[in-house]
Homo-oligomer: A and B are copies of this chain.
């Protein structure tokens, strides 16, 4: 579901943020899927291209769990866009090396991502556009910087086998 799961009696920030982020995410996913990428694959590809980075570092940048990163790198390798290389400095770590094809795809995916963002922002008058980005940046760096503690109980330990 789209998750507007809060009321709408007045200026409902929850609804607005949930809805716009959800729709933008579907647009991004649809656009990237045309070249066979997920948003996560795009994210890892671009940041692996910028610098020699390990899976752990890339997971940190993209705010993914390391196990999610395994799946993402598997997909990139399978598509021939990146390769795991044992780090010379720390033989436990894997550097994600982007292939030539991967670099080409990364350029395409970055262009796609930029286009999707420009189309959304372009739908706003110049003044609102800047104000939106300024306000969201303020929130993201301030009051909405870090997630609240989850009210849900921690997951139970695995059953004895």
A151: chain B residues at CB < 8 Å are 29-30, 33
Taking residues whose C-beta sits less than 8 angstroms from the other chain, chain A's interface range is 35 or more
Q: A1-B63, A19-B144, A129-B135 are in contact. List 17 more A-B contacts (CB 8 A).
A: A5-B38, A5-B42, A7-B46, A7-B47, A13-B133, A14-B28, A14-B113, A15-B140, A17-B17, A17-B24, A19-B140, A20-B139, A20-B144, A23-B147, A26-B148, A30-B148, A120-B144
User: Can you list 25 A-B pairs, Cβ within 8 angstroms, ordered by A?
Assistant: A1-B63, A4-B63, A5-B42, A5-B63, A6-B39, A6-B43, A11-B133, A14-B25, A16-B133, A16-B137, A17-B21, A17-B24, A19-B144, A20-B144, A23-B144, A23-B145, A26-B149, A27-B148, A29-B151, A120-B139, A124-B138, A128-B135, A131-B131, A131-B135, A132-B135
